[in-house]
Structure 1
Amino acid sequence: MGRIIAIANQKGGVGKTTTAINLAACLAKKGKKVLAIDMDPQGNMTSGLGVDKNSLEYSVYDMLNGDCNLGECMLIDVYPDIKGLNLLPASRELAGAEVEFVTVEDPQYILKNHIKNVRRKFDYIIIDCPPALGMLTVNALTAANTVLVPIQCEFFALDGLSQLIYTVNLIRKQLNRLLTIEGIVFTMYDSRTNLSMQVVDNVKQNLNQHIYNTIIPRNVRLAESPSYGMPIIAYDPRSAGAEHYMMLADEVIANDYYK
């Protein structure tokens, strides 16, 4: 049965979408069948995989709104050089879904109900969440088995993390009792600065959560790749960014308690 991982952090600018794109791509590169779901109205996961979000026939918004089914929304083998990477894309209309959910019965379960019948067809379902606690994020966390949390190596890292842990606990109590934190992954690590090292040490000392050994470095090629609509493994497979996201994919597979 497919493992559903929500990539989430209520703090923006932490490498959340970069991690969602590249983890999904690297898992597919390793032979896994992956469904990437873009639940962020900004649609950066969609454009980061080379899809024009302004020319979609159907998007996640249409699926959630009942205007199409998951199969009609899904883009199969979305990136030509990475077989097995499929996408439910987002468009700017998704921003309006928060308001429209108000009139729907049990709106927290809409995404879960759509993917529950197809999860057996995938090894991994990777959900990119918005950087805020709204109904879109609640839907993602209600549908997920685990939450993977990217943390930028900067001073306020623990503040955003504590907010997310509080949210996960609320979701677990009220909507999804099996939800757990998959693990923490450090991003934008700069080995030249003491701050990055201090943040890593501080989180490890103060947080009782699984922390992935892989640390994603600051990398120019990694920062460039979304503007070309390419995951880093396709844009520059020899870069440090590609190497480390492949390492993270290996760790996620090894940590698979839903085998």
Structure 2
Amino acid sequence: MGKTTIAINVAGALNARGHNVLFVDLDPQGNATENLGMMDAYDDAPPSLFDCLTNPEQREKIHEIIRNHEEMDVVPSNIDMTAAEPELTLSRRSGEQLDLLLAEVEDDYDYIIVDCPPNLGNLMDNALFATQNVLIPALAESTSKRAFELLFDHVDALELDYEIDIHERGVVINRIDVRKNQAKQMVDWINTAFDDVPVWEIRERADVQKALDSGVSLLEYNPESDMCEVFLSIADGLDEQFEMVEVEA
């Protein structure tokens, strides 16, 4: 259970609070696309996210590639996205292409959730520049300390290069196995290190994976799960930070 699981369930929680959500799968691996039951889109012929992202003349076609899901609208990934990194390197304003693309649709949504690739690079730069906000996923493992260092060094460099401020909206610790001492120690360390932003804790639950296997968020699959309260708390925290209000059904 990693970043994609968090992204899908936060999007589901925002939907449960009445918000209109667009989910963008920017990861060339297409895990979110698969988890949302849209794997056919991954192999679709053009236009795809790759075309809309790398070719300015194709930007308006984003309206054609958005898929409807019961909890959110989705811009699926595509196998052609595996070539996006080098293609973006060759383009002018290489780190701004996603921002320019989302400008086509941003007025239609309350939130746009971008599921980033697991590695730092042009696609990550595009996501950070376009959103200028980050919800940080973390494992309850010691390896997360080094991952934090790499991420923050990258964010600092991007802020300097583009003269922007990227806001940390919170940390979501996942895969917490309370039976392991290392997990408990890491949770304590993260709570201490990030005492100026919210920290949410997601414990291991079989239903989280079962929900993804069913193509929906945990809130849709099993609203009685105790972890639904955590995802709803994340959505509530984001609403508070962005001064949004819950929409009555």
- Corresponding position: 1:170 with 2:157: yes
Structure 1: which 5+ runs fail to align? 1-13
Equivalent-residue separation in structure 2 for 1:258 and 1:162 (angstroms): 31
Q: 1:227 aligns with which of 210, 213, 216?
A: 213
- Cα 1:25/1:176, change in 2 over 3 Å: farther
**Retained in 2: the 8 A contact 1:48–1:230?**
yes
List 4+ stretches of structure 1 deviating above 6 A: none
- The SS at the match of 2:119 is coil
Q: Compare 24-33 and 60-69 and name the one that shifted more.
A: 60-69
Deviation at 1:34, TM superposition (A): 0.8
- Cα 1:93/1:55, change in 2 over 3 Å: closer
Deviations 1:235-258 (A, max 9, x none): 222223333212221222122258
| TM-score (normalizing by structure 1) | 0.85
AA partner of residue 168 (structure 1): V
Equivalent-residue separation in structure 1 for 2:42 and 2:2 (angstroms): 23
- Corresponding position: 1:255 with 2:241: yes
**Retained in 1: the 8 A contact 2:207–2:222?**
yes
Q: 2:11 aligns with which of 8, 11, 24?
A: 24
Q: Compare 152-161 and 122-131 and name the one that shifted more.
A: 152-161
Equivalent position of 2:223 in the other structure:
237
- The SS at the match of 2:202 is coil
Equivalent position of 1:150 in the other structure:
137
Corresponding pairs, count? 240
Equivalent-residue separation in structure 2 for 1:142 and 1:168 (angstroms): 10
Structure that is richer in helix per residue: 2
**Retained in 2: the 8 A contact 1:35–1:125?**
yes
- The SS at the match of 1:216 is strand
**Cα RMSD over matched residues?**
2.0
- Corresponding position: 1:87 with 2:79: no
Equivalent position of 1:140 in the other structure:
127
- The SS at the match of 1:237 is coil
**Retained in 2: the 8 A contact 1:43–1:90?**
yes
Structure 2: which 5+ runs fail to align? none
Equivalent-residue separation in structure 2 for 1:102 and 1:206 (angstroms): 34
Percent identity, aligned pairs only, is: 28
- Corresponding position: 1:63 with 2:46: no
